[in-house]
Structure 1
Amino acid sequence: MRGAQALQFIRRTVTLGQHLCPAPLTAGTRLEFGSFLQENPNDLVYTHNRKIDELIKSGNLMSAHEVFDGMSVRDVVTYNLLISGHSRNGCSVRAIELYAEMVSHGLRESASTFPSVLSVCGDEWFCREGTQVHCRVVLLGFGCNVFVRSALVGLYASSRFLDVALKLFDEMPERNLAVCNLLLRCFCETGDSNRLFGVYQRMELEGVTENGLTYCYMIRGCSNNRLLCEGKQLHSLVIKSGWNISNIFVANALVDLYSACGDLSGSRRSFNAVPEKDVISWNSIVSVCADYGSVLDSLDLFRKMQFWGKRPSIRSFMSFLNLCSSNSDIQFGKQIHCCVLKMGFDVSSLHVQSALIDMYGKCNEIESSVSVYKSVPYPTLECCNSLMTSLMHCGITKDIIEMFGLMIDEGAGIDEVTLSTVLKALSLSVPASSPSCTLVHCCAIKSGYASDVAVSCSLIDAYSKSGQNDVSRKVFDELDSPNIFCWTSIINGYARNGMGKDCVEMLREMDQKNLIPDEVTILSVLSGCSHSGLVEEGELIFDSLESKYGMSPGRKLYACMVDLLGRAGLVEKAERLLLQAHGDADCIAWSSLLQSCRIHGNKAIGRRAAEVLMDLEPQNFAVYIQVSKFYFEIGDFEMSRRIREIAASKELMREIGYSSVVVKN
């Protein structure tokens, strides 16, 4: 009977509770049968939240979600934990979905909600959502919270809305170290040294104490902008505060600073000052020496690094391979390739594989370059671009065009390097194909690279070589702010097609826009004047080089001007110009003058030019042939024969072209 009485008592208690409580029992409420105690729903939510927090901290996000899904009652802390967990694990989409679910359920955000959500919205794909979250911050009155405001600054800084980020930074009631470092990182990455130092000065004025991360960003900013003087001042502050000893990242940043500014000795001193060198320190100094061509030093450091048990990184091998590419040192390149194979970087690093493809191509070992490319498990865009540039270096333009089509078909992707390379290949093909240029142009527009400077210049060059000057000018006119390279490309296109007046007009437009041309631009203009017979215009431009542009004419400009005067029959003026040039007159200029004398029948100047030419290039067989031909054409057969005998006595021979044929059985 005792059990029946107890059951009856429970029923009366529950009934009494229902009469006393205005709200019904929730699903989270349960009755302890043994102790007759009723558990508080808030205590149950708190218990679940603790469990979720423990699972997230242990990295078990899936189990945390299972606990979350099993909860019938959730609060803002529950959602904050899950949002923060997904944010830290890179699950941006799920974090945004959880935040939207929380708001839709009528749960009001806390100050801890917004930093996690805003950190997710810093991704370029969630910029719009970030603006909406900012509106919620203002609506709910969290704008004055220093942590929320810092997260907003980080949001706009990572999204590159720098003016908005600075405005929010200025409006903060107080600025802490974290938000200052956020802006320093942003300006370091964008290369804005003025704003970088502006934030740093405000930190000093407002008494915000720097840490190692602050100095890292400042030093990296100086490295990116080659600010050696400012970098040395920072170095002094770092030594004074002791961060160069206590923080290895600051010490390594100093090594990179001096190397970026071209101070190799300063980089070595900074490296030697590092108390406990880590693998980054060693790889930095090895790559620095390799970048500056100090082969023996870099190899010695490479050996010492391995002796001390430090494993070389991708950066070291990349620097070695770039050195081999620039020097066309195939033997050293093969030795580095062996080290790459030995350490497994041929499989683990596509960057190293791309550098290997490029190295073999620059050393004219195209078969080895293709072999490395074929060994790549899945060719990336970088590897494809390296092979294309290697083929371009070796003059195999047909394969570049075929490879571009293969990349499009297989969905490997394209970028500005791909488009620029294939356009250059098309412009070098004979004859240049206009439909192919149009097809690549369409790909550039569709992929969003049509406005890129390198792609635009290549398009202008390709269209002009195919004779479509109107289209090349249209490409130029569609550029928002064409730089000097774009102007040079369009002028060179006009010069190539004998449109000298357009070249001169484009140079005048550059003057009106206060754009200073370089030597290549002037050469293109003078070449256009030469092919169009615009002698006065060419002389005016040449005579005003120093006064107008601060440019001293070199050998190429003198040769171009001699060609301009010689084509017009003004060989006397061309000779006077060369005599004024002294050391800047080379074999090409005198050869051009001799050719003009041969065409226009000026024997006296031709004889003098022939003597100077043989004095300049006494071992050049082509010079003797040209001089002999000149004397033959003016009727001095004896002198022509004597010149040939001199060449024969010096055992000079014309370089004979040859081709190698490989027969595969």
Structure 2
Amino acid sequence: MFTPQIHFLRCITRRLNAENRSRTDPLLLLSNPTDLRGLTLSETNVAHALLLKNRVLYSNIYAANNLIKAYSECSRTDYAFKLFDEIPIRNLVTWNLMILGCYKNSLFGDSWRIFCQMRNVGADMDEFTYGTVLSACGALQHVVRGVQVYGFVTKNGFFSNGYVRAGMIDLFSKCCKTEDALRVLYDVHCENVVCWNAVVSGAVKNKDNWVALEIFSQMCRHGSLIPNAFTFSSVLTACASVEELELGKSIHGRVIKVGSGVDVFVGTAIVDLYAKCGAMYDAIKQFKLMPMRNVVSWTAIISGFVQKACANPDMFGEALQIHCWILKIGLYLDPVVKASLINTYSKVGAISLSEIAFAETRDLKQVGIWANMISAFVQSEIYEKSIFLFQRMLKEGVTPDKFSVSSILSIIDRLTLGRQVHGYTLKVGLESEVSVGSSIFTMYSKCGNLEESLKAFEQVDRKDNVSWTSMISGFAEHGCPDKAVQLFREMGFENSILDEKILAAVLNACSALHSLKLGREIHGFALQYGFNERTIIDEALVNMYSKCGDLNSAMIVFHTMPFKGQFTWSSLISGLSQWGHIEEALQFFHEMLLSDISVDAFTISSVLGALAVSSKPEIGTQLHVYIVKIGLESEASVGSSLVMMYSKCGCIDDCGKVFRKIISPDLVCWTTMIASYAHNGKGLEALQLFDLMKKSGIEPDAVTFTGVLSACSHTGLVEEGYFHLNSMIRDYKIEPGQKHYACMVDLLGRAGKLEEAERFIVNMPIEPDTLVWETLLAACKVHGNREVGKLAAQKIMELQPNDAGAYVVRERCFLTFTFIVRSRKGCVFWCQAEFTWIERALKVGGHKVLQVTLQCPSGVDMDKASLRDRQ
């Protein structure tokens, strides 16, 4: 009779014959763990029965452990648990096999339970225990439990073990805690490529692609670490995600060098890189070279072709053909197909067909269709329709997903609407999504509300590089560069979280602060950590050095750049212009034109600014002709710079002609034109232009009112001056500064109302500075008011006690001197006069004067002067 036991014994016999073993003891098979691999469940049950029959199961722990492992490999952990509970004495291997068996069968909670039981009975643990339970915690995404286990690891001296650290890194990566994973990696010097791969892979999965690329860069600089196929497939995926084609090509070269290109996963990643970066010729070439292809490889190459077709407006006909084919085979109502069709039409420039496809959708409960239509409107810059569709989506009872919310937030520039959308994200719980959270604080930053932006940023649990860069850039671009630098210092980053975009953002903040010291520190940091020859950092360095006045360093970086874009040229030219190097600025501008680099409004404005302070009006006229030729005359920034240049030259009529050419003059344009009229003696025209500006809907700022008050001063309009001073406080909530009060003092002084000017200064809500008193002093000199002038001079000396000039002005202008006059006839007479009117004193009595001796009052340290043969 044939029984399973006989079949099992025959199997044992065949194995023993193959290995030249004794045929008399079948239990030898059970004493070797390799002999139980690949057994079926029935064969494992027979082995279990034999062990029980021979009464060696509970006395031979090695055989019992092999049986537990066999049950686990057959996915019968329930049998393994029964056997485990029956074993009287368990060793470390027993516990580890149970924890590992539960983990392999996705019973992660049971792995944790066995680990806790093991701790309670005081059993010894090794690196396999800790590594497996950490992997289980990672699968459960229980960070707290994982940290507890890692505490035991550190306490028991296993923290340097690669297997254990890889498990902890994997845990943090699965829980989207890349920074914590990096800390584990950097705890000790690590030469285990598995640990490094775990960080790289985790960063890619968490979309921290720049972190992954930086870790890979560190691996390459680490002499003993050799990347393998797993490493290459991860970093190539990162390059594809951020479309870093050049970096991807260099990694491809390394793959060829070490011979990892035959790996199907690496090959697929290479194809995907070239396809996503639009290099379809290279993608096809690499696809054909692959010795083996899987479905992912085919999908990558097909997706590349589809991406290229969708981005090409010439593929409109093909899109229609595919649409017809979809109708023919009956897939038109499929929501995924419909969403793709909407997206395709928008990318080929047929947004109206996207709307038709959306309108024909029957099932409008599919959020993906709404998200694609909203995204299509946003990408086509049809913002009003996108907002209307988002509102309609809410009315239809469809809950927006993170993609539709992020799309809407990206276009909002009105604070009220932005707050409403923010409130809705809080209501539906989308604020925890990284893309939504980043869009929220970017929206507040764009609306100029940096306080709300920072609050939203702090509430983002998982901040990626894009989040940090966006927040730092927001502070730098909206007038708070000091806060941008502070945020950079508070990042709490490990070295590898940095990328060139963050460094470029903080360098731009240094530019705004004119902090050369900090800028140099960032430059040194970038060089130290391998961020050299990165275009975006080089551009920021040229800009920083130029604005901070270190033009030599700016030109050194400029000349070492392999490719110089428009921004780099503009930054250097602007810096040279700003610091008075007019000739060099014009020379670089000439070289820029010869390099076929397109000239933008910023560059033109910089050159015009340089010409405004130079004595080269003919070059300014030539540049004006060039501006007209390239069509930038109507640009607001260029127009205002032309107005300023012509104003400095005194060509006020040309200023008016240029101003009238500007299509949409902004506040700077209006202010520049008002100031030009004021400084060139056309105060009434300036005030009329100010009224036109207000009627156009543009509100003035403090600089505008300086020009307006100056116009009132040049025209002698005292009442109008008071009116505009009060208006800036009452109507526009602008607190006047020293320049505004100085203009009013100048206005009163020109009108001869010196005592009123003195009272005005005394009643100022802020403490007057030297500018205000010097303005009054100048008016007193003109009108000969000695008493008020003495007061003004005294105030200047109090504010600037070390200024000898103020003391001399006071003594020379307002102290009385005795002039002894000797005439040709020999008569001697004297008179008292003030030094300012010395020429008048020289003609006392109509006599020709031979000599004048200054008899200075006591205490006045002034050389005596002789004037000979003066009329």
Q: Same-fold call, TM > 0.5?
A: yes
Shift in Å, 1:270: 2.3
Alignment partner, residue 336 of structure 1: 522
Map Cα deviations across residues 419-438 of structure 1 (whole Å, 9 max, x no partner). Answer: 11111111121x241x4233
Alignment partner, residue 814 of structure 2: 631
Distance change (3 Å), C-alpha of 1:534 and 1:363: same
Separation (CA, whole Å) in 2 of partners of 1:197 and 1:640: 80
Amino acid paired to 2:553: S
Alignment of 1:298 with 2:510, yes or no, is no
Alignment of 1:111 with 2:323, yes or no, is yes
In the alignment, which of 646, 650, 656 is matched to residue 463 of structure 1?
A: 646
Separation (CA, whole Å) in 2 of partners of 1:325 and 1:378: 22
Alignment of 1:452-601 (within 5 A): 452-535=635-718, 537-539=720-722, 541-542=724-725, 544-546=727-729, 551-583=734-766, 585-601=768-784
Distance change (3 Å), C-alpha of 1:152 and 1:578: farther
Shift in Å, 1:173: 6.0
Separation (CA, whole Å) in 1 of partners of 2:780 and 2:282: 90
User: Which SS does the other structure have where 2:681 is aligned?
Assistant: coil
In the alignment, which of 578, 582, 598 is matched to residue 413 of structure 1?
A: 598
Map Cα deviations across residues 485-504 of structure 1 (whole Å, 9 max, x no partner). Answer: 22212222222222222212
Q: Is the 8 A contact 2:503 2:522 kept in 1?
A: yes
Map Cα deviations across residues 388-421 of structure 1 (whole Å, 9 max, x no partner). Answer: 1221332222222221111112212211111111
Separation (CA, whole Å) in 1 of partners of 2:733 and 2:472: 40
Q: Is the 8 A contact 1:424 1:458 kept in 2?
A: yes
Q: How many residues align?
A: 529
Alignment of 1:441 with 2:627, yes or no, is no
Alignment partner, residue 401 of structure 1: 586
User: Taking structure 2 as the reference length, what is the TM-score of the superposition?
Assistant: 0.52
User: Which SS does the other structure have where 1:379 is aligned?
Assistant: coil
In the alignment, which of 308, 326, 330 is matched to residue 512 of structure 2?
A: 326
Map Cα deviations across residues 49-93 of structure 1 (whole Å, 9 max, x no partner). Answer: xxxxxxx99969669999xxxxxxxxxxxxxx9998645136966
Alignment partner, residue 88 of structure 1: 307
Q: Structure 2 stretches of 5 or more lacking a match?
A: 1-270, 286-299, 817-832, 836-853, 863-871
Q: Is the 8 A contact 2:469 2:505 kept in 1?
A: no
Alignment of 1:359 with 2:571, yes or no, is no
Q: Is the 8 A contact 1:114 1:151 kept in 2?
A: no
User: Which SS does the other structure have where 1:508 is aligned?
Assistant: helix
Amino acid paired to 1:262: L
Map Cα deviations across residues 571-596 of structure 1 (whole Å, 9 max, x no partner). Answer: 22322322232425332111111111
Alignment partner, residue 230 of structure 1: 420
Distance change (3 Å), C-alpha of 1:256 and 1:532: closer
Separation (CA, whole Å) in 1 of partners of 2:556 and 2:515: 18
User: Which SS does the other structure have where 2:520 is aligned?
Assistant: helix
Larger radius of gyration: 2
Q: Is the 8 A contact 2:551 2:576 kept in 1?
A: yes
Shift in Å, 1:337: 0.8
Query: In terms of mean alpha carbon deviation, does 618-627 or 456-465 score higher?
Result: 618-627
Distance change (3 Å), C-alpha of 1:341 and 1:608: same
Separation (CA, whole Å) in 1 of partners of 2:731 and 2:444: 36
Alignment of 1:262 with 2:474, yes or no, is no
Distance change (3 Å), C-alpha of 1:183 and 1:418: farther
Alignment of 1:376 with 2:376, yes or no, is no
Q: Is the 8 A contact 2:667 2:700 kept in 1?
A: yes
Query: In terms of mean alpha carbon deviation, does 512-521 or 585-594 score higher?
Result: 512-521
Q: Is the 8 A contact 1:495 1:527 kept in 2?
A: yes
User: Which SS does the other structure have where 2:321 is aligned?
Assistant: coil
Amino acid paired to 1:269: E
In the alignment, which of 395, 402, 405 is matched to residue 212 of structure 1?
A: 402
Q: Is the 8 A contact 1:423 1:462 kept in 2?
A: yes
Distance change (3 Å), C-alpha of 1:221 and 1:617: same
User: Which SS does the other structure have where 1:573 is aligned?
Assistant: helix
Separation (CA, whole Å) in 1 of partners of 2:706 and 2:640: 17
Distance change (3 Å), C-alpha of 1:62 and 1:385: closer
Separation (CA, whole Å) in 2 of partners of 1:367 and 1:256: 36
Alignment partner, residue 422 of structure 1: 607
Amino acid paired to 2:508: N
Shift in Å, 1:257: 5.7
Q: Is the 8 A contact 1:389 1:421 kept in 2?
A: yes
Separation (CA, whole Å) in 2 of partners of 1:160 and 1:486: 36
Amino acid paired to 1:579: V
Q: Is the 8 A contact 2:712 2:747 kept in 1?
A: yes
Distance change (3 Å), C-alpha of 1:408 and 1:602: same
Distance change (3 Å), C-alpha of 1:372 and 1:556: same
Separation (CA, whole Å) in 1 of partners of 2:316 and 2:445: 46
Distance change (3 Å), C-alpha of 1:342 and 1:533: same
Map Cα deviations across residues 541-560 of structure 1 (whole Å, 9 max, x no partner). Answer: 44555556555543211101
Q: Is the 8 A contact 1:351 1:382 kept in 2?
A: no
Q: Is the 8 A contact 1:223 1:256 kept in 2?
A: no
In the alignment, which of 385, 389, 393 is matched to residue 199 of structure 1?
A: 389
Alignment of 1:602 with 2:792, yes or no, is no
Distance change (3 Å), C-alpha of 1:365 and 1:641: farther
Alignment partner, residue 168 of structure 2: none
Separation (CA, whole Å) in 1 of partners of 2:356 and 2:559: 52
Q: Is the 8 A contact 1:314 1:352 kept in 2?
A: yes
Separation (CA, whole Å) in 2 of partners of 1:114 and 1:149: 10
Separation (CA, whole Å) in 1 of partners of 2:357 and 2:757: 66
Distance change (3 Å), C-alpha of 1:504 and 1:623: same
Q: Is the 8 A contact 1:144 1:172 kept in 2?
A: yes
Shift in Å, 1:457: 0.9
Separation (CA, whole Å) in 2 of partners of 1:262 and 1:63: 45
Q: Structure 1 stretches of 5 or more lacking a match?
A: 1-55, 67-80, 116-141, 646-665
Alignment partner, residue 20 of structure 1: none
Separation (CA, whole Å) in 2 of partners of 1:63 and 1:332: 43
Amino acid paired to 2:450: G
Separation (CA, whole Å) in 1 of partners of 2:685 and 2:369: 54
User: Which SS does the other structure have where 1:346 is aligned?
Assistant: coil
User: Taking structure 1 as the reference length, what is the TM-score of the superposition?
Assistant: 0.67
Amino acid paired to 1:631: F
Distance change (3 Å), C-alpha of 1:329 and 1:481: closer
Separation (CA, whole Å) in 2 of partners of 1:169 and 1:196: 13
Distance change (3 Å), C-alpha of 1:278 and 1:517: closer
Distance change (3 Å), C-alpha of 1:493 and 1:230: same
Separation (CA, whole Å) in 1 of partners of 2:494 and 2:413: 24
Amino acid paired to 2:751: A
Amino acid paired to 1:601: G
Shift in Å, 1:608: 2.4
Q: Is the 8 A contact 2:341 2:354 kept in 1?
A: yes
Amino acid paired to 2:509: L
Separation (CA, whole Å) in 1 of partners of 2:578 and 2:799: 31
Alignment of 1:130-145 (within 5 A): none
